[in-house]
Structure 1
Amino acid sequence: MERAWNTYLVEQGISTAQFATMAALAEGERTQTQVAAATAVDPRNMGPTIRKLIEAGWVQTRLNPNDARSRLLSLSVAGRAWWDEAQPRLRRGREQFFRALTSDELATLEALLGKLEAAHSHESTSASN
């Protein structure tokens, strides 16, 4: 599954880390630390991914009015356009990938994966405190 997803993303011109970052920013403006938390990445490792997205013109930054030590990240106009245009392709790719499952099986899989994600997200949050 991971191999198929990575192949698909490469065909779309984006890495898995960049895609996850774009997905986090598609939900709204965030700091680098917030993006790292949303994508379950160590904040120290987030910099190169964000730099590549800024260089590609898909992410923009501005000063954080609440914390002069950080910057707020958001999708640029080009980044939002790429994200919005990618959604139908992503839905078709998802449907193609999961075509072997019935709708009930897919719902069960999504529920179980959500449960695992929540448990591991809670563990990583607890471990960092």
Structure 2
Amino acid sequence: MKNEQQNEQELVVNHGEVTNQVENNPKVQNPNIIHVKIKKPIELKGEKVDELVLDFTELTGKDILGIDAELRMEGRAGGFDSIYNQDAMLKLAARGIGCIPLDLEKLHGADFFELLLQVRAFFIQW
């Protein structure tokens, strides 16, 4: 039977999210970084990838306002009006990965949906 301290030190990964960490564990990731496995690999930045790594460590309010401005310039009057706005989540994902949204639109539908769910979940649980 595990004691409370052992339970707190376990690394629990759920859909690519790290929810608990152990300092000495080399597999422990920064909680601002999300690893999303994709079932149908795509070419990204000149490489075939089967995992997307979103790094929100340096994301700022200015970045979010920039996404809002981009959406408005594209004719979306509401801009970044909701955490449920798929276009906003796509732009956040692209910023976290360091690519353009068009690259991510090449994902298989199920992989695309999982990616956007992970991005949304990250910001909801923050």
Question: Which has the larger share of strand?
Answer: 2
Question: Which has the larger share of helix?
Answer: 1
Q: Same fold (TM over 0.5)?
A: no
Shorter-chain-normalised TM-score: which range? under 0.3
Normalized against structure 2, the TM-score is what? 0.24
